[in-house]
Amino acid sequence: METGPVYQSIQKKLTEALRPVNLEILNESHLHAHHQAMKGVVSSETHFSVSVVSEEFQGKTLMERHRLIYNLLNDELAGGVHALTIKAKAPVEIGTNG
């Protein structure tokens, strides 16, 4: 799979800061390209979905986990990334539903 500069930057930052057990990053920009709100936008790295399993999330609320990730990716979000779907789990939570 071809990965762009934003994808690689996200991967690097999340890996370094969170030392994840599992990390999946999906570029979902193509799913949103036709939306009204995206008219005139030419980037192909605008919407991402990240799924992270990391000890760092242990004991943190959902909001704390999401804020942590948002802070790490501040530059990307201030740049061309319009949306970030986040699944943030601690290793003990894997295997449970929802």
Partner 1 sequence: MKGTPDAPQCGFSRAVVQILDAQGVDAKQIKAYNVLEDQDLRNGIKEYSSWPTIPQVYLKGVFVGGCDILLQMHQSGELETLLKEKELVPGDL
Residues at the contact surface with partner 1, assessed by CB under 8 A: 31-32, 35-37, 62-63, 66-67, 70, 74, 77-78, 82-87, 97-98
The beta-carbon contacts of 74-79 under 8 Å, at least 24 apart in sequence, are 75/9, 76/6, 76/9, 76/10, 79/6
Report, in Å, the least distance between residue 63 CB and partner 1: 5
User: Between 2 and 97, whose beta carbon lies closer to partner 1?
Assistant: 97
CA atoms of 79 and 88, how far apart (whole Å): 23
User: Between 5 and 98, whose beta carbon lies closer to partner 1?
Assistant: 98
Report, in Å, the least distance between residue 5 CB and partner 1: 19
User: Between 55 and 75, whose beta carbon lies closer to partner 1?
Assistant: 75
Two structure tokens written together for 80: 């061309």
